[in-house]
């Protein structure tokens, strides 16, 4: 669930430089190792990172390790997938959702 070749591991330390200072669309999966639904969503997130490479940045953020950013965005349930356009938070999806819903959100914000 931590960053694969196509996903970026987002941390409290690199959030500003990777997400807020970055242009375009970024999707971040807020997850934790103990979370069963997070394990269901992780392969979908990985596949979207591959399928949308060059058009969408995809990151993962472990909420147990990076509590500052999780608190800042009021993450109460995981998985939570947040979308950022040109550094601004524009959308949130909570729960283990189907790929089609995430793709709809991506298309809406690209």
Q: With 70 as the cut, is the pLDDT of residue 94 above it? A: yes
pLDDT bin (cut points 50, 70, 90) of residue 11 is very high
Based on the structure, what is the number of domains in the chain?
1
Note if 35 is an active site residue. yes
What pLDDT score does 4 carry?
Answer: 53
Domain that holds residue 78: 7-109
Strands (DSSP E) found in the chain: 7-9, 25-31, 56-62, 80-85, 88-94
CATH assignment of the domain containing 48:
3.40.30.10
Domain presence at residue 19: yes
Percentage of residues of the chain with pLDDT beyond 90 = 94
Mean pLDDT of all residues in the chain? Answer: 95
Burial class, 34, CB count within 10 angstroms (exposed 0-12 / middle 13-18 / buried 19+): exposed
Domain presence at residue 73: yes
CB 10 within 8 A of CB 59: yes
Residue of 8, 38, 45, 81 marked catalytic: 38
pLDDT by residue (tens digit) across 19-73? 999 899 999 999 999 999 999 999 999 999 999 999 999 999 999 999 999 999 9
Residue of 28, 35, 41, 48 marked catalytic: 35
Domain presence at residue 63: yes
Note if 38 is an active site residue. yes
Domain presence at residue 1: no
Domain presence at residue 40: yes
Domain presence at residue 2: no
CB 32 within 8 A of CB 40: no
């Amino acid at each position: 669930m931590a960053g694969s070749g196509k996903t970026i591991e987002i941390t409290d330390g690199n959030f500003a430089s990777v997400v807020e200072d970055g242009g375009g669309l970024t999707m971040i999966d807020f997850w934790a190792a103990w979370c069963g639904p997070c394990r269901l969503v992780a392969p979908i997130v990985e596949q979207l990172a591959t399928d949308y490479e060059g058009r969408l940045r995809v990151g993962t953020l472990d909420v147990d390790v990076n509590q500052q950013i999780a608190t800042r965005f009021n993450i109460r349930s995981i998985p939570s997938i947040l979308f950022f356009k040109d550094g601004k938070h524009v959308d949130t999806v909570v729960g283990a959702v189907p790929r089609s819903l995430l793709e709809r959100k991506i298309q809406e914000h690209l």
